[in-house]
Amino acid sequence: MLGETEPQWLSEEVKTGTTIIAIEFNGGVVLGSDSRVSAGESVVNRVMNKLSPLHDKIYCALSGSAADAQTIAEAVNYQLDVHSMEIGEDPKVRSAATLVKNISYKYKEELSAHLIVAGWDRKDGGQVFATMKGLLTRQPFAVGGSGSSYVYGFVDAEYRKGMSREECQQFVVNTLALAMNRDGSSGGVAYLVTIDEHNTEEKVILGNDLPTFFDQ
Amino acid sequence: MDKTLRRGPERQLGVKNDTKSVFFININVNSLCVCVCVCVCVCVCVCGLQYDLSASTFSPDGRVFQVEYAMKAVENSSTAIGIRCKDGIVFGVEKLVLSKLYEEGSNKRIFNIDRHVGMAVAGLLADARSLAEVAREEASNFRSNYGHDIPLKHLSDRVAMYVHAYTLYSAVRPFGCSFILGSYNKDDGAQLYMVDPSGISYGYWGCAIGKAKQAAKTEIEKLQMREMTCRELVKEVAKIIYIVHDEVKDKAFELELSWVGEVTNGRHELVPKDIKEEAEKYAKDSLEEEDDSDEDNM
């Protein structure tokens, strides 16, 4: 057939149109993400884990362009490895976040990725840092990705200070489920990572185990 | 004594008569010029002979003489001490005043490396100043890359590596200064490291560098520094500097005191004037007491 061109999604950039969230509790952090990777209207990967380890007790949540985010995470993982050997102890979460921020800011015109860095260290316990477009700010919790717009109201209303570890995990799962329901670029399964002084726990919550709301 | 450093292949015809005097004729194959190098050494093993001309040469007994000579340069300078106590660090430097015309407080020998790190030096002051700049750059780059204060052990390792690099090549000479780095923060507490011209860094509870370092070390060992606070330690540091100062050989001196600890909220600062005067008074009084007790014994 004359004049047939290739499907549009082959030429679209691969984005992790996404919902990511991280929240701090007394003694650690909980990170959560969905698992959909889209190229335009096509879902390229429906089970991608967007929670990437930077160090034993520091993780980051990826959003924006998949390639950009993964590259930043790998580069910082390497830098933190070297850094922790040089100083002879586990790196601070702030160091990891600063390294991510330095790359995001220096290449802010070329990159389009937003990483949320969260983890636990000996000095300040659980910490969450947002590093969008090259800023660095510590927050009690942070949301990001295209799906986050749909849940700002929910997180602002439902967040309370001093939530326990289990309450934080439930809060994260609820937020992800609501966002995945409304955002076309988020979906699949929910990945959860809980980091505290003693261990780092990774969990997957499959689609039918996610919480349901009024319309389901 | 005429010594010329010759590069390139050399043939040396050494005629050794006895251990008291040695004659060398150096022939440089490239330039075909003959240089007569006369070296008269009196003692047996202390002089490096031809092994001490550059830092890139080992001696047969495994020493690098240039580095040892650099350490002698430190021993010619006046004393500096640093002591760590349970809540901070105190530095004391005996700054010899060579002329009455000097402005008071000039030629400081205690430097600020970062908000929380101080450095006291002994040896060639110009070398020390350049190393202070190196340390400042390291601390500043760390803060820019990692977002927080540099841990003192890391800073001391980095500067020691830099000092060590200058002991490897014949094109440069080793740094002729030792320095003591100290810092305090709430989580890691007080820390004290000393770096010497060979490029080694050690952690200490108390250390001394300069001409009276042996005497100062003896005095420091008498202290129970692990139980003291900074305020008590300031007086003891002043006292030690006054004790080790040699009244006969060196006349006037200025005492430089600085501290970093809980009392300064983790910032490295010069000790305030009133506390410094109180410490000097305590030092002078205890010296007089010792003089008095000496007289009684006679």
CATH of the domain at A134: 3.60.20.10
Looking at residue B6, its pLDDT comes to: 46
Provide the pLDDT confidence category of residue A41 given band limits of 50, 70 and 90.
Answer: confident
Residue B15 has pLDDT above 90, yes or no: no
pLDDT of residue B248: 85
Interchain pair B147, A122: CB under 8 A? no
What pLDDT is stored for residue A5 in this prediction?
A: 78
Q: Name the residue among A168, A184, A134, A160 with its Cα closest to residue A31.
A: A168
| pLDDT at site A14 | 73
> Is A95 within 8 Å of chain B by CB?
yes
**Contact state of A88 with B153 under an 8 Å Cβ cutoff:** yes
What pLDDT score does B143 carry?
96
Find which of A79, A95, A100 to mutate to test the B interface (most B CBs within 10 Å of its CB): A95
Contact indicator for B51, B60 with CB cutoff of 8 Å: yes
Rounded to an integer, the average pLDDT of B52-79 is 94
Name every chain A residue with its beta carbon within 8 A of the beta carbon of B148.
92, 94-95, 98
**Does residue A84 belong to the interface with chain B, where contact is any CB pair within 8 Å?**
no
Whether residues B145 and A102 touch (CB distance < 8 A) is answered with yes
> Does A78 fall in a domain?
yes
The pLDDT tens digits of the residues spanning B110-120 come to: 999 999 999 99
Which stretch of DSSP H or E encloses residue A96?
helix A93-106
Residues in B closer than 8 angstroms to A97, CB to CB, are 147
B148 and A102 in contact by Cβ < 8 A?
no
pLDDT of residue A131: 94
For residue A4, being part of any structural domain is answered with no
The strand ranges marked E within B97-188 are 110-114, 117-123, 177-185
* Chain A residue numbers touching B153 (CB-CB < 8 A): 87-88
ipTM over 0.90: no
Rounded mean pLDDT, B273-283: 95
The pLDDT, as a whole number, for residue A138 is 97
User: Predicted confidence band at A1 (pLDDT cuts at 50, 70, 90)?
Assistant: low
In the numeric block, the tokens 């969230």 are attached to A21
Chain B contact set for A124 (CB, 8 A): none
Cβ–Cβ below 8 Å for A87 and B153: yes
pTM of the predicted model as reported, rounded to 2 decimal places:
0.83
The catalytic residues of A are 18
How many Å apart are CA B257 and CA B238, to the nearest integer?
8
More confident residue, B139 or B97: B139
Q: Which chain A residues are within 8 Å of B145, Cβ to Cβ?
A: 98-99, 102
User: Is A106 within the bounds of a domain?
Assistant: yes
Query: Which among A86, A122, A123 is the nearest to B154, CB-wise?
Result: A86
Q: Identify the sign of the CA torsion B286, B288, B293, B298.
A: positive
pLDDT value at residue B173: 94
Decide if pLDDT at B9 tops 80: no
Q: Which residues, including other chains, have CB under 8 Å from residue B2's CB and lie 6 or more apart?
A: B36, B37, B38
Q: Once rounded to an integer, what is the mean pLDDT over residues B164-175?
A: 95
Beta carbons of B147 and A136 less than 8 Å apart: yes
The residue of chain A with its CA nearest to that of B151 is A87
Q: Chain A: nearest CA to B201, how far in angstroms?
A: 15
Domain contains A107: yes
Which residues in chain A have their CB less than 8 angstroms from residue B187's CB?
122-123
> What digits encode the pLDDT tens for the residues B228-237?
999 999 999 9
Instruction: Reply yes or no on whether the pLDDT at B8 is more than 60.
Output: no
Confidence at residue B63, expressed as pLDDT on a 0 to 100 scale: 93
> A155 pLDDT exceeds 50?
yes
The whole-number pLDDT of residue B296 equals 60
Q: Is A200 on the interface with B (CB under 8 A)?
A: no
Least confident of A73-77, A144-148, B26-30, B266-270: B26-30
Enclosing domain of residue A121: 16-205
CB-nearest partner of A98 from B147, B151, B154: B147
Could you tell me which residue, B284 or B20, shows the higher pLDDT? B284
Q: Does A22 map to a domain?
A: yes
- The helix or strand, by DSSP H or E, that contains position B259, with its residue range, turns out to be strand B253-261
Structural domain contains residue A126: yes
Evaluate whether residue A104 is within a structural domain: yes
What's the gap in Å between the CA of B134 and the closest CA on chain A? 18
Residue-averaged pLDDT of chain B: 85
Q: Number of structural domains, chain A?
A: 1
Distance (Å) from the C-alpha of residue A127 to the closest C-alpha of chain B? Answer: 14
Residue A70 in domain: yes
Given pLDDT bands bounded at 50, 70 and 90, which one contains residue B17? very low
Other C-beta atoms lying within 10 Å of the C-beta of residue B288: 10
How far apart, in whole angstroms, are the C-alpha atoms of residue B197 and residue B203?
16
Inspect the interface and report whether the beta carbons of A87 and B145 lie closer than 8 Å: no
Residues 6+ apart with CB under 8 A from A160: none
Q: Which residue has the higher pLDDT, B244 or B19?
A: B244
